[in-house]
C-alpha cells in the first residue's frame, strides 16, 4: 500500500475492484508461533467501490475478540473503539494508484484536509526541491578521504551520514572523486591522473551494470552529479530514524546517497528545519512510509514528497523566527533548543479531531528537541577508505553481557575462541544506531542488508527468512526483498 513498487497493483485494484476491509495487525499477536512480521487482512471484491471498513488491532487483540468485531461490522454503527481495537467505516476508498496512507480514521481524515488546504513540501512556487544524494555503484573507489593522486578539481567535498550524526554538520574529510563536470562526463584523456586512478580499479568499475550499459564511459557513476547543489546551502536528512533529523549544510558539498537533501529559494532553511522537526510533519511521514519495528520511520524522497506544510506567506514572521531558533544547534553542544520553548506555530491533536492549525498561542508539544549528542546514537556499517567496516553493534544487548559505555573506545583486546584459540579484536567505537532499538534479529538483518547494498559493499542483497512448520518464507524488509533483488539481478545482465 505504501511502497512505490506497488503502484501497478494499486492501479489494478482501483480500476476494477472494491476494497471492503483493511485490518492492520502489526502490533497484534496474529500467529500461533512468535514471528517478526507486519500482518494485515485485506478483503477486496469484484465490484464498484463502496464503503470501506478499516481497523487497527492493538497488542492485546486476541482471536476471542473477532466475534465482537464481526458483530459491529454487520451493524449500522459507524465506529468501534475498544482497548485493543479501533475501527470505522469510510464512505469510499482511495481513488488513485498513489500511496495509500496508514493511520487511524481521524488521521486519514486529517491528511485529506491537509491535501485540500496546504501545498506540498516540494513546491515550484517556493523553489523548494528535494532528492537523494549521488549513487556511485562503487563507494570504495569514488568516495575517499585523505590524499588521492588525481587532479584537484576532481575532488568534490561530500557530506556523509557520519558528518551529521552529532546533530550539526562536521566535515569528516570524504571527497567524491568525480568523473563529471556541469556539462557531462569528463574525457579521461584530459585528466591523466584521474585516468590512472580509475584504470587501477577498472576491473570492479567495468563489472557494474551501469558500466556495461555505458560503453566507453565505463568510469561513470550510477547517478549524474547535480552541480547546482554545490552552489546551494541545503538541509540533509538520514532515512531510517525514529524521528526527523534535518541538519543544515553550507554550500560546496555533494550529498551522499544515504542522505536526502532539501533546498529552497524562499524558505529560510533554519525555519524549514524547525518545521521538519514538528509532530505535524512526523505524523505525515508515519502515515505514508513503510514503518520498521521499534518505531523507525523512513524519510525517503518518495515519502517527503507527500508531506504538506503551510505556505511560507501564511506564517507570521515571529513564528518563523521561533521555528528557526528551535532548529539551530546550541553552539558547542549540538543539541536543539528545548521543545517547549519555541513552538508557537504548531498544535497537533492526535485525538478524534486530529487537527493542525496555525496558532498565536504557546504549545508545549509542537516541536521536539533535536537529540544532538544523545549517547545512544552511533554509526553502523560506515565504510572506511581502504579498510574494514566499523560494526557498531550493541554488544550489551545479549543476556549475560554487560552494556558498554557509549562514546568510549574500547582498547584492542583478545577474545577466547570456542576451541581455545585466542582471536584479536579491533575494538568497539561509539554506540549502536537507535534504528536497531527494539528490533528483532530478522529486522536487523533486513536493515543491514539494505545498508551494505546502498554503501556499495555488495551489488545485490536479499533478506529472507524461512519457517519449517509450516514450510514458508517471509521478508523482513521489502527494500531488500525479492522484487528489488530480481530487478537488480536482471539489470546486471543487460
Q: What is the Cα 379 distance to its own chain's centre?
A: 15
Q: What is the sign, positive or negative, of the torsion defined by CA atoms of 285, 290, 296, 302?
A: negative
The CB density around residue 406, as the number of other CB atoms within 10 Å, is 18
Q: Which residue has the higher pLDDT, 361 or 196?
A: 196
8 backbone dihedrals φ, ψ, rounded to 5°: -65, -40
- Res. 430: pLDDT tops 70: no
Q: Which residue has the higher pLDDT, 471 or 416?
A: 471
- Res. 397: pLDDT tops 60: no
- Res. 347: pLDDT tops 80: no
Report helix, strand or coil for 130: strand
pTM: 0.62
Distance (Å, whole) CA 485 – CA 9: 19
Least-confidence region, from 117-126, 228-237, 412-421, 454-463:
412-421
Report helix, strand or coil for 51: coil
pLDDT of 7-59, one tens digit each? 889 899 989 999 998 888 877 777 777 776 778 889 999 999 988 888 888 88
Q: Which residue has the higher pLDDT, 372 or 97?
A: 97
Cross-strand partners of 21: 43, 53
Report helix, strand or coil for 89: strand
Distance (Å, whole) CA 226 – CA 365: 38
pLDDT of 136-146, one tens digit each? 999 999 999 98
Residue with cell 538541509: 235
> Residue 476: left (phi > 0), alpha (psi -120 to 50), or beta?
alpha
Parse the chain into domains and list their residue ranges.
4-100, 134-225, 432-494
Report helix, strand or coil for 216: helix
Distance (Å, whole) CA 201 – CA 196: 9
Distance (Å, whole) CA 290 – CA 288: 7
Cβ atoms 275, 308 nearer than 8 A = no
Q: Which residue has the higher pLDDT, 27 or 284?
A: 284
- List CB contacts of 331: < 8 A, sequence separation 6 or more: none
Distance (Å, whole) CA 276 – CA 367: 9
Burial grade of 73 (CB within 10 A; 0-12, 13-18, 19 or more): middle
Buried b or exposed e, range 136-157, using 16+ CB within 10 angstroms: bbbbbbbbbeeeeebeeebbbb
Distance (Å, whole) CA 309 – CA 244: 15
Amino acid at each position: 500500500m505504501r511502497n512505490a513498487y506497488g503502484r501497478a497493483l494499486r492501479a489494478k485494484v482501483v480500476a476494477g475492484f472494491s476494497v471492503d476491509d483493511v485490518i492492520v495487525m502489526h502490533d497484534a499477536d496474529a500467529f500461533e508461533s512468535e514471528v517478526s512480521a507486519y500482518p494485515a487482512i485485506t478483503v477486496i471484491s469484484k465490484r464498484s467501490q463502496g464503503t470501506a471498513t478499516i481497523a487497527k488491532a492493538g497488542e492485546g487483540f486476541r482471536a476471542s475478540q473477532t466475534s465482537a468485531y464481526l458483530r459491529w461490522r454487520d451493524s449500522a454503527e459507524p465506529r468501534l473503539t475498544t482497548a485493543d481495537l479501533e475501527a470505522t467505516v469510510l464512505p469510499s476508498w482511495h481513488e488513485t494508484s498513489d500511496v495509500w496512507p496508514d493511520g487511524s480514521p481521524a488521521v486519514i481524515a486529517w491528511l485529506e484536509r491537509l491535501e485540500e488546504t496546504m501545498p506540498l513540501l516540494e513546491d515550484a512556487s517556493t523553489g523548494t526541491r528535494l532528492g537523494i544524494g549521488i549513487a556511485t555503484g562503487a563507494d570504495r573507489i569514488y568516495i575517499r578521504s585523505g590524499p588521492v593522486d588525481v587532479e584537484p578539481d576532481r575532488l568534490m567535498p561530500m557530506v556523509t551520514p557520519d558528518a551529521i550524526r552529532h546533530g550539526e554538520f562536521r566535515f569528516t574529510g570524504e571527497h567524491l572523486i568525480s568523473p563529471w563536470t556541469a556539462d557531462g562526463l569528463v574525457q579521461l584523456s584530459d585528466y591523466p591522473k584521474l585516468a590512472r586512478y580509475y584504470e587501477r580499479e577498472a576491473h570492479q568499475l567495468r563489472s557494474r551494470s551501469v558500466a556495461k550499459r555505458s560503453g566507453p564511459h565505463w568510469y561513470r557513476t550510477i547517478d549524474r552529479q547535480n552541480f547546482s547543489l554545490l552552489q546551494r546551502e541545503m538541509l540533509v536528512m538520514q532515512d531510517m530514524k525514529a524521528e526527523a533529523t534535518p541538519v543544515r549544510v553550507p554550500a560546496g558539498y555533494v550529498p551522499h546517497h544515504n542522505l536526502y537533501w532539501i533546498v529552497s529559494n524562499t524558505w529560510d532553511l533554519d525555519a524549514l528545519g524547525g518545521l521538519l522537526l514538528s509532530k505535524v510533519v512526523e505524523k505525515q511521514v508515519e502515515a505514508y512510509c513503510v514503518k520498521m519495528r521499534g518505531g523507525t520511520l523512513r524519510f525517503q524522497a518518495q515519502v517527503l514528497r507527500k508531506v504538506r506544510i503551510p505556505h511560507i506567506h501564511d506564517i507570521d514572521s515571529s513564528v518563523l523566527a521561533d521555528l528557526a531558533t528551535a532548529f539551530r544547534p546550541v553552539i558547542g553542544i549540538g543539541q536543539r533548543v528545548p521543545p517547549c520553548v519555541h513552538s508557537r506555530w504548531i498544535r497537533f491533536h492526535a485525538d478524534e479531531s486530529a487537527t493542525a492549525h496555525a496558532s498565536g498561542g504557546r504549545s508545549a508539544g509542537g516541536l521536539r528537541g533535536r537529540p544532538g549528542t544523545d549517547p545512544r546514537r552511533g554509526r553502523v556499517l560506515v565504510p572506511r577508505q581502504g579498510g574494514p567496516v566499523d560494526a557498531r553493534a550493541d554488544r550489551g544487548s545479549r543476556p549475560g553481557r554487560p552494556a558498554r559505555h557509549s562514546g568510549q573506545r574500547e582498547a584492542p583486546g583478545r577474545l577466547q575462541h570456542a576451541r581455545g584459540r585466542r582471536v584479536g579484536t579491533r575494538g568497539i567505537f561509539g554506540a549502536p544506531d537507535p534504528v536497531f532499538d527494539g528490533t528483532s534479529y530478522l529486522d536487523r538483518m533486513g536493515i543491514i542488508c539494505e545498508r551494505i547494498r546502498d554503501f556499495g559493499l555488495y551489488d545485490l542483497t536479499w533478506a529472507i527468512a524461512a519457517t519449517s512448520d509450516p514450510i514458508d518464507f517471509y521478508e523482513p524488509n521489502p527494500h531488500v526483498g525479492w522484487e528489488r533483488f530480481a530487478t537488480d539481478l536482471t539489470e546486471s545482465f543487460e
